[in-house]
Amino acid sequence: MTILIAGGGLSGLSLVAHLVARPEPRGPIVVVDDGRRPLATAGWAFWSAEPGLLDEAVSRTFDRFHVHAAGRSRIVGLGRYRYRFVRGDDLAAAVGKAAERRGGVRFRSGRVTEIRQAGQGAEVVVDGESLRADWVFDSVFRPGPSRVDGWLIFRGWHVRTAEPAFDSAVPTFFDFRTSQERAASFVYVLPRGPQEALVEHTSFAPPHSRGVARPKEQRSALREYLASTLGVREYSVTREESASLPLSASAVDRRRGSILAIGSKAGLVKASTGYAFRRIQADSAAIARSLAAHGHPFDLPKPKPRHLLFDATLLDVVAGDPAQLERVFAALFDRSSAEPVLRFLDEDSSLPQEGKLFARLPPSLYSAVRRRHR
């Protein structure tokens, strides 16, 4: 069985890791990437309660985080969960090592310009050359979810300060002490040490914003947060990153013949959080399992309708009234342990557990969920 993976970013590399971790399927695997999103500057944070296949690539682990909403600051423990961070380079090194042990995996640099069904398999055009494979996994082309329910617009600064300014052991999951005037916004801080951190301004914006960022306002909000909230006087910005992620709470039609969309193109970015790392791991594991068991990659778990419903409702409510996001986060995280919320966001919670969480939500969101559910 020959496999071609278009795009060697998070989903492409994760799929390689899960494929080579099994004795089956055998056969060559080719990964093609043109380097437009360099791994050297990529990194992903995620939470998990169990060990994962790629834990070797984790460089930072936290057991609590700081939250600030509705005028209250607190440090919340994560219970069984840990919040972890993986650098792109470390991910590539871990996957590269596993691929070398198995053999038969080729990482090729090149631009994919076309992916099409061809007979029983598929054909991928790379820098003008046609490559054939039995199965093609596409993280570059498929347009992704057809419906956009909102946007996550963020701009982050990698900051180095002259004096210690960050708590190295505690990231800030969200801090709403930033203007809410144009969109529901918060600041996220991922420390690297007492004098180094990623400080990121994040907004949930409605679908009609079309993901258009306002760099001037985002930078001014970051400056204001560093100066007024953190009291940092002297700092340098070593790197800036920004993105507008489309958020969709609809299931995506991922399959076309022998071609399967993966990663964000498969709708794996969770619409209410913008996180995808763990979902991509679960999806990669399911694809590898399906290939080994059935010789095809389509025996995958279906998205859970009630979680899609919650995500859609949250985005809807926040689009209509941005101030609701802070109220929802304040209500959900007003507890000593974030474990029940993280379990819910991972879509691993039971109905009674969700009932208890929802009982704390602002009545407007609770009734919006009920309205949609009818």
Ligand X SMILES: Cc1cc2nc3c(=O)[nH]c(=O)nc-3n(C[C@H](O)[C@H](O)[C@H](O)COP(=O)(O)OP(=O)(O)OC[C@H]3O[C@@H](n4cnc5c(N)ncnc54)[C@H](O)[C@@H]3O)c2cc1C
Residues of 231-269 as b/e, b for ≥16 C-beta within 10 angstroms?
ebeebeeeeeeeebbbbbbbebebeeebbbbbbbbbbbb
Tokens for 251?
């299931």
Please state, in angstroms and rounded to a whole number, the distance separating the CA atoms of residues 189 and 170.
Answer: 9
Q: b/e string for 270-290 if b means 16 or more Cβ within 10 A?
A: bbbebbbbbbbbbbbbbbbbb
Q: Which stretch binds ligand X (CB under 6 A): 9-17, 177-185, 215-223, 362-370?
A: 9-17
Q: Are 187 and 199 in contact (CB under 8 A)?
A: yes
The structure tokens listed for 127 are 């820098």
- Say if CB 65 and CB 172 are below 8 A apart: yes
CA–CA dist 357, 370 (Å, integer): 14
Examine residue 46 and tell whether it contacts ligand X (CB under 6 A).
yes
Quick check: 248 binds ligand X (CB under 6 A)? Answer: no
Stretch that binds ligand X, among 23-31, 67-75, 206-214, 269-277 (CB under 6 A): 269-277
- Minimum distance, C-beta of residue 36 to ligand X, in the bound complex (Å): 4
Residue 300 or 321: which CB sits closer to ligand X?
300
CB of 360 to ligand X, least distance (A): 25
Span interacting with ligand X, options 38-46, 48-56, 68-76, 228-236, rule CB under 6 A: 38-46
In the complex, the smallest distance separating the C-beta of residue 94 from ligand X, rounded to whole angstroms, is 15
Q: Applying CB under 6 A, which part among 54-62, 223-231, 257-265, 290-298 lies near ligand X?
A: 257-265
Among 4, 20, 44, 316, binds ligand X (CB under 6 A): 44
CB of 247 to ligand X, least distance (A): 10
Nearest residue to 6 (alpha-carbon basis) of 126, 95, 127: 126
* Contact between 276 and ligand X per CB under 6 A: yes
CB distance 290 to 260 below 8 Å: no
**Under rule CB under 6 A, residue 272 binds ligand X:** no
Taking CB under 6 A as the rule, does residue 241 contact ligand X?
A: yes
The answer to whether residue 204 forms part of the interface with ligand X (CB under 6 A) is no
Name the minimum Å distance from CB 348 to ligand X: 16
277 is a site residue for ligand X (CB under 6 A): yes
Among the listed residues 1, 27, 37, 237, the single contact to ligand X using CB under 6 A: 37
Could you say which of 269, 271, 314, 365 contacts ligand X (CB under 6 A)?
A: 269
Matching residue, tokens 């529901």: 184
Binding mask 88-117 for ligand X (x = CB under 6 A): -----------------------xx-----
User: Which of 206, 246, 263, 267 forms a contact with ligand X (CB under 6 A)?
Assistant: 263
Q: Kindly tell me which residue out of 32, 95, 317, 345 binds ligand X, with binding defined by CB under 6 A.
A: 32
Position 264 contacts ligand X (CB under 6 A): yes
DSSP string, 307-326: HHHHHHHHHHHHHH-THHHH
Q: Which one-letter DSSP state was computed for residue 337?
A: B
Is residue 140 part of the contact set for ligand X (CB under 6 A)?
yes
**Which of 24/348 has CB closer to ligand X?**
348
Residue 275 as a binder of ligand X (CB under 6 A): the answer is: yes
Nearest to 256 by CA among 297, 301, 305, 294: 297
Q: Which of residues 112-131 bind ligand X (CB under 6 A)?
A: 112
Are the C-beta atoms of 251 and 307 separated by less than 8 Å? Answer: no
Binding mask 331-350 for ligand X (x = CB under 6 A): --------------------
Q: Considering only CA atoms, which of 180, 248, 242, 192 is closest in space to residue 60?
A: 192
φ and ψ of 20, to 5 deg: -80, -10
Q: Which of 58, 122, 139, 202 binds ligand X (CB under 6 A)?
A: 139
Strand partners, 239: 158
> Could you give the CA distance from residue 165 to residue 183 in angstroms, rounded to a whole number?
27
Interatomic CA distance for residues 109 and 94, integer angstroms? 19
Residues within the interface to ligand X (CB under 6 A): 7-12, 32-37, 44-46, 111-112, 139-140, 241, 243, 245, 263-265, 269, 275-277
